[in-house]
Amino acid sequence: MGAGLLLLGDSRLPAGGYAHSGGLENAVLRGEVHDLDTLTEFLLGKLYGTGAVQAAFAAVAALTAGPYTMPEVAPWAELDAELDARTAAAPARAASRAQGRSLRRVAKAAWPTEPWAALGVSPHHAIVLGAAATRARLDEREAAVLAATNVVNGPASAAVKLLSFDPISVTVVLAEMAGHCDQVAEEAADAARTVFADGDWERLPCWSSVGLDVCAELHVHEEVVHFAS
């Protein structure tokens, strides 16, 4: 592990993450999340569902970007389409692309000689994250760790703001999550290596969380919201 992991994993990275709750706000509005136990259940469900997919795509993006100069020609469009197909709710796709656009802006400023345009103007967040991870000298497993932790840290931070939870108690929850994040990342990286070897992108993990899709769809119709997703 290097400092690059902390750079890209820092919640203060100016890439728009603070404005998204990853479905948590809507789960709070529906009464699904109201205490630390229900927060823990929410985070576990999210991590082992969409989190596993995000981690696998970050890992395969890291393998695609490679450890040296990023390739000019790469299957970014294919990966983009595959992740689109795994993100059922349109607002969730929009949230992923909004954060991907912001992260790409940061990556382009930090590593200006790389061909970031090839990823598209608003690429999915996990794909940019994986590519950026390689520029920060990280490998595919570490890219997956970034994606997995991102999936739980954002909602946990939103929970502190929306439900006035004790931030230390929420950190205890996140400490319990860390092992799960490592496990998800490990499996995601394994899957990504297998798929990357033969380019059969369809075999990338395709878990989903129906409840989160519902939250994402309902959120855009709420009158009073604090978070963009």
> What is the nearest approach in angstroms of other proteins to the Cβ of residue 13?
8
Residues 123 and 145 sit within 8 Å (Cβ to Cβ): no
Q: Which of 55, 156, 158, 192 binds other proteins (CB under 8 A)?
A: 158
Amino acid in position 30:
R
Size of the site for other proteins (CB under 8 A): 42
Residues 73 and 203 sit within 8 Å (Cβ to Cβ): no
* Whole-angstrom distance, CA of residue 138 vs CA of residue 179: 19
Nearer to other proteins, 53 or 189 (CB): 189
Of the candidates 46, 45, 141, 131, the one whose C-alpha atom is nearest the C-alpha of residue 80 is 131
> What is the nearest approach in angstroms of other proteins to the Cβ of residue 117?
15
Give residues with Cβ within 8 angstroms of 88, minimum separation 6: 208, 213
Binders of other proteins among residues 40 to 99 (CB under 8 A) are 67-70, 98
Local structure of residue 220 (DSSP, 8 states)? T
Q: How far is CA 33 from the centre of its chain?
A: 20
Q: Which of 19, 44, 74, 118 binds other proteins (CB under 8 A)?
A: 19
Check residue 218 for interaction with other proteins (CB under 8 A): no
* Whole-angstrom distance, CA of residue 4 vs CA of residue 191: 23
Nearer to other proteins, 161 or 180 (CB): 161
Binders of other proteins among residues 94 to 153 (CB under 8 A) are 98, 101-102, 105-106, 109, 111-114, 134-139, 142
Amino acid in position 146:
L
Q: Which residues bind other proteins (CB under 8 A)?
A: 1-2, 12-21, 67-70, 98, 101-102, 105-106, 109, 111-114, 134-139, 142, 158, 161-162, 223-228
